[in-house]
Structures are given as structure tokens and as C-alpha cells.
């Protein structure tokens, strides 16, 4: 698949996998994906497995991501993780503003913007998640919600920082439900987000930013989703917990 932007497939393991299970998974992924270099491949284990997974993938082209981080660099923030602490484990990417954190931890666009700025200050690439709920889509508010989240969550980023930022469009109604946005719905949302970036920054920035799709991505639908002109990869949840399914998604995207 020939695209202007290099595809990026990231596996968000969420609160799953012991260290031993994480190592089994990445060892299998290293074998399955040993010859795949046309796609950026990222795994995002729980914090507890970052150190060992980092060692296990050191001799591969799989990159390491974290599932969250603090907007603060250090200090009295019990239970939080700073960007500099993540970098000790060779973390390259960090997922910010996932819908589950927006919902359960009440994370705001303003907070996510501060986290994105902190990530860039530490030379981490943020994967900033946006997406509407089912009620919002049914009320025909998808574009309004996306505009609010995109503008709010990217506040304060320079053009250079924006180019090094990944956006993940994740319709909340499709996460973990087995429902997937149709290719037309996904493409329309991605194109809308790219148009916002053109308005917020400029055409060059908008053309270069990678926008992933997330929401019940699996081997059976990944090829069609990745073929859309504005879909530049996937943020994979459940299907990333099994080596064969995640590897098939990666291979289907090429």
C-alpha cells in the first residue's frame, strides 16, 4: 500500500499482561513481524512490564509506547509517571487522552494538551486520542465533538511539534464493543480532522500528521480501513493481546 505517510500500528494492551505474559507476546511478535519494516510498529504494555519489554525488543524494529503520563516533570504526585521516567525504558510514544481516561479519570482537553506539551519537551511522540460517543453521533454532533477535542487537546503545540504528534480517532461506541465504524465513517472523520489541522496550522502540517483509527480493529477489517486515504494506521486494543491477530493487522496494512 503506497501512502504519503508511513503507517503506524500501535497495540494498546490496557490493564492486561503480567511481565511473563508480556514477554511471551513480544517474543512471538518479533518472530511474526521480523521482516516488516514498511510500517511503524508500537506496543504499549502496562507500566509494570515496560522495563522487561524494552529489553526484549531492543534488537528489533518494534518500538515501545506507554499508555499515559503526567503533565508534571517530577514532584509530589503520588501514583503518576513523568515523561523522563518513561524515557529510562526507551519509551518512544505515549498514548494521551484515551476515551477510557476521559471517561473514568475525567481527563479534560486542557489536561491532555498539557500532557502533549510535556511529552514533546521530553522528545516523546504523543498519540492523542479523540472520538465521539454513540449518543453524540446519533445527535449528529460528531464533527462538533471532534473539533472541540482536537482544538482543545492540541493547544500550545508548534507546527514542528504537531508534525511529530499522532492523532488517534477512536469513536467511543466502537471501542471494545465489536462495532467498527464503516470505512466511509472512518474516512470522513479522518478527513474532517485533517481539515481542522489545515485550519489550525497549515496545509503542510495537515498533510504530514498521521491519524490512526481505533475501535474494534481486527484482521478481518484492517485491510479495508487502512486503504482509506486519510487513515494512517491503527490503535489496536483487544486484538493486540494475541500475537497472530496483531501481526495479521500489521501485515494487512501493507
Task: Tell me the catalytic residues.
Answer: 98, 170
User: Are the C-beta atoms of residues 165 and 125 closer than 8 Å to each other?
Assistant: yes
User: Are the C-beta atoms of residues 102 and 144 closer than 8 Å to each other?
Assistant: no
Residues ≥6 apart with Cβ < 8 Å to 31: none
The helix (H) or strand (E) run that includes residue 166 is strand 166-169
- Rounded CA-CA distance 131/51 in Å is 31
- Rounded CA-CA distance 47/49 in Å is 5
Count Cβ neighbours within 10 Å for each residue of 197-235 and write b for 16 or more, e otherwise: beebbeeebbeebbbbbbbbbbbebbeebbebebbbbbb
**91 beta partners:** 64
User: Are the C-beta atoms of residues 90 and 55 closer than 8 Å to each other?
Assistant: no
Helices and strands, counts by H and E, the chain: 12, 8
Task: Dig out the grid coordinates for 64 from the structure.
Answer: 515501545
- Rounded CA-CA distance 74/122 in Å is 12
Q: What is the distance in angstroms between the CA of the first residue and the CA of the last residue of the chain?
A: 5
Amino acid at each position: 500500500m503506497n501512502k504519503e505517510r508511513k503507517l503506524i500500528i500501535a497495540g494498546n494492551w490496557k490493564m492486561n499482561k503480567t511481565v511473563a505474559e508480556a514477554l511471551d507476546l513480544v517474543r512471538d511478535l518479533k518472530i511474526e513481524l521480523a521482516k516488516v519494516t514498511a510500517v511503524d510498529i508500537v506496543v504499549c504494555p502496562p507500566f509494570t512490564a515496560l522495563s522487561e519489554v524494552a529489553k526484549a525488543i531492543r534488537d528489533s524494529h518494534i518500538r515501545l509506547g506507554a499508555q499515559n503520563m503526567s503533565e508534571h516533570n517530577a514532584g509530589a504526585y503520588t501514583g503518576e509517571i513523568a515523561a523522563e521516567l518513561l524515557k529510562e525504558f526507551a519509551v518512544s510514544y505515549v498514548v494521551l487522552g484515551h476515551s477510557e481516561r476521559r471517561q473514568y479519570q475525567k481527563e479534560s482537553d486542557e489536561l491532555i494538551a498539557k500532557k502533549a506539551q510535556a511529552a514533546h519537551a521530553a522528545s516523546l511522540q504523543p498519540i492523542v486520542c479523540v472520538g465521539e460517543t454513540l449518543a453524540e453521533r446519533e445527535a449528529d454532533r460528531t464533527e462538533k465533538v471532534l473539533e472541540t477535542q482536537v482544538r482543545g487537546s492540541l493547544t500550545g503545540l508548534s507546527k514542528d511539534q504537531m508534525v511529530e504528534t499522532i492523532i488517534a480517532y477512536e469513536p467511543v461506541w466502537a471501542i471494545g464493543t465489536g462495532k467498527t465504524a464503516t470505512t466511509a465513517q472512518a474516512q470522513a472523520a479522518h478527513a474532517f480532522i485533517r481539515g481542522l489541522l489545515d485550519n489550525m496550522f497549515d496545509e503542510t502540517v495537515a498533510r504530514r500528521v498521521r491519524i490512526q483509527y481505533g475501535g474494534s480493529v481486527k484482521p478481518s477489517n484492517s485491510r479495508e480501513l487502512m486503504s482509506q486515504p486519510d487513515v494512517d494506521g491503527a490503535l489496536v486494543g483487544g486484538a493486540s493481546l494475541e500475537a497472530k491477530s496483531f501481526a495479521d493487522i500489521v501485515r494487512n496494512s501493507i
